[in-house]
Copies of this chain bind each other. A is one copy, B any other.
Amino acid sequence: MDMPAAGLADVYRRYIACLNRQDWAALGQFVADDVVHNGRQLGLAGYREMLEQDFQQIPDLRFQIDLLVIDPPNVASRLVFHCSPKARFLGLDVNGQRVSFSENVFYAFRENRICQVWSVIDRAAIEAQLQSPLS
């Protein structure tokens, strides 16, 4: 049975808090062992590795929920980031410049764990900020 929307919102907010404190030991409470991310079967270990790499590339990374749409078992979230990737990020030479961008991401939950993720990051927004640092 699906969890009510309010419960799923709470689970999702606790997942985001887990990411922000880089509490990788707790990640399995929120992410399924066989999780699929953008069509790739990463599994929990691969998912954790992806997140650890994100924090390596972006030491000041912080996940911030801008808009949350909950319709169990699915969650859609608009995340916003204000951070400084230290070198190359998404194929762009950011080199420590502070950039702002969003990620529109959908999740399917199964038994309160994320089992599928479909994410699109607004890479064009980062590109535009690199071209014109004042915008």
Contacts and interface: CB of A to CB of B under 8 A. Distances in A.
Interface of A: 5, 67, 69-71, 74-76, 78, 90-91, 102-106, 118-124
A120 B121 contact: yes
A106 to B, nearest CB: 6
A106 B90 contact: no
Contacts of A75: 69
A122 to B, nearest CB: 5
A122 B90 CA distance: 12
A91 B131 CA distance: 14
A78 B90 contact: no
A67 B74 contact: yes
Contacts of A103: 120
Contacts of A71: 5, 69-71
Contacts of A78: 106, 118
A59 to B, nearest CB: 23
Nearest to A121: B120
8 contacts: A69-B69, A69-B106, A78-B106, A102-B120, A104-B104, A104-B118, A120-B120, A120-B121
Contacts of A123: 123-124
